[in-house]
Amino acid sequence: MTEHKPVSRALAVPSGRFNRVARFGGLATGLAGRAALGGARQIARGQRPKARDLLLTPENARRVADQLAHMRGAAMKVGQLISMDAGDMLPPELAEIMGRLRADAHYMPRGQLKRVLARHWGDDWKSRFTEFDMQPIAAASIGQVHRAPTVDGRDLAIKVQYPGVRRSIDSDVDNVATLMRLSGAMPRELDITPMLAEAKRQLHEEADYEREGHYLSRFAELLKDHPEFVVPRLHADLTTTDVLAMDYVDGVPVESLVDAPQATRDEVMRRLIGLVFRELFQFGLMQTDPNFANYRYQPDSGRVVLLDFGASRELGPHMAPQFRRLMHAGLAGDRAAIRAAILDIGFFAENTPERHKRLMVEMFELSMEPMRRPGAFDFAGSDLAPRMRDIGMELGSGRDFWHIPPMDTLFMQRKFGGFYFLATRLKARVDLSAIIEPYL
């Protein structure tokens, strides 16, 4: 892990189920009340307001984001996913507000933290450390991280899960979905039951730190012959379902490389994009969370640090052949083969309207542009991102479309999209055709 100063403050995590449900209820009531007041004002001025416009306001989005950040756990995590996956479907000011959930969360007060550690390590837990910094070096949706040197000479990063997270996952996910529907951020016609079930499953897995420790070790083994990457070493003797112990690894946030030399930015993105293809076509295992906070850079060694393997996902044996066929079709510019491969993967169904099938094919063809060009693709000098966003918004606006593809495909799409966005942010130049060629 790497150290940075948190910008949040200590705030106790509401851990009781009744307390959390009450907070959601109060938030929903507040949203409805403010919408009613706003509607009355507009009617008095002779206007005919739409319910969605009354509910989906910057003020309401700010209140939702602040409350989810306070509650943390699955509530905050789902808000983060919505801001990442549906950000292009929201008005810019609302996407920016919801994007605040991707920044540091509030962290536990010392008393609450000590009780959590005593529950897992025993009352004498402090005797294992020469020092335990009670101020976290990072705080996120499910847990916070502390630096702690041990008496036997290990320099550790200790991730501590917020109390009550696991018990509240199912109800939190349902309540956030209800809030999003109430706000108008999601269409009522969309059946999100499969997505909610998958969100609950994934969050239960992410909340199991012993499982994360397993995948931390798996990736360390898979990348042991790739010195350009650093994966922290697991320390199983201090790891439980709610506490994860690993090496403290120094580094700077990958986003801070915006001012680094061009060659550095290009090389970092070449490695990260190459790792995605390696995960898909070689490992059959992918860390599916493209959150930029999961990646660090070591200026002295030039190595990329990989963090947070809670969202690791085993890929089915069908995934690599399906995507290899799709990539071959895209590189060849064969629209009929692209369409057949997209249908096989499940991006759209047989009964999907023809217009939306065409838009999906166009979006994929756009995503293949960097791979079809010889030499380095300049992400900064391209209008690829806004063009893809325009098609995405056109797809999202069609109430007769709303099709949820298989979850493996959704996670794959999110990982690729996240790295394209990062490459654009870093203004990188990457020869994507050279990266993908060995896997095809």
172, 78 contact by CB (below 8 A): yes
**171 class by beta-carbon count within 10 Å (0-12 exposed, 13-18 middle, 19+ buried):** middle
- CA 160 to each of CA 8, 147, 163, 395: distance values in angstroms, whole numbers, following the listed order: 17, 11, 9, 40
> 314 forms bridges with which residues in the sheet?
285
Tokens of 420: 């394209």
What is the Cα–Cα distance from 18 to 28, expressed in whole angstroms?
A: 15
Concerning whether 289 is annotated as a catalytic residue, the answer is: yes
Maximum CA extent, the chain = 74
- Residues comprising the chain, all counted: 440
156, 248 contact by CB (below 8 A): yes
CA-wise closest residue to 2 among 244, 233, 232, 250: 250
182, 28 contact by CB (below 8 A): yes
What is the Cα–Cα distance from 228 to 81, expressed in whole angstroms?
A: 29
What is the Cα–Cα distance from 115 to 117, expressed in whole angstroms?
A: 6
252, 260 contact by CB (below 8 A): no
In the DSSP assignment, the letter for residue 253 is E
Active-site residue (options: 88, 266, 289, 308) = 289
> 317 forms bridges with which residues in the sheet?
none
What's the CA angle centered on 192, arms 170 and 100, to 5 degrees? 70
Active site residues: 289
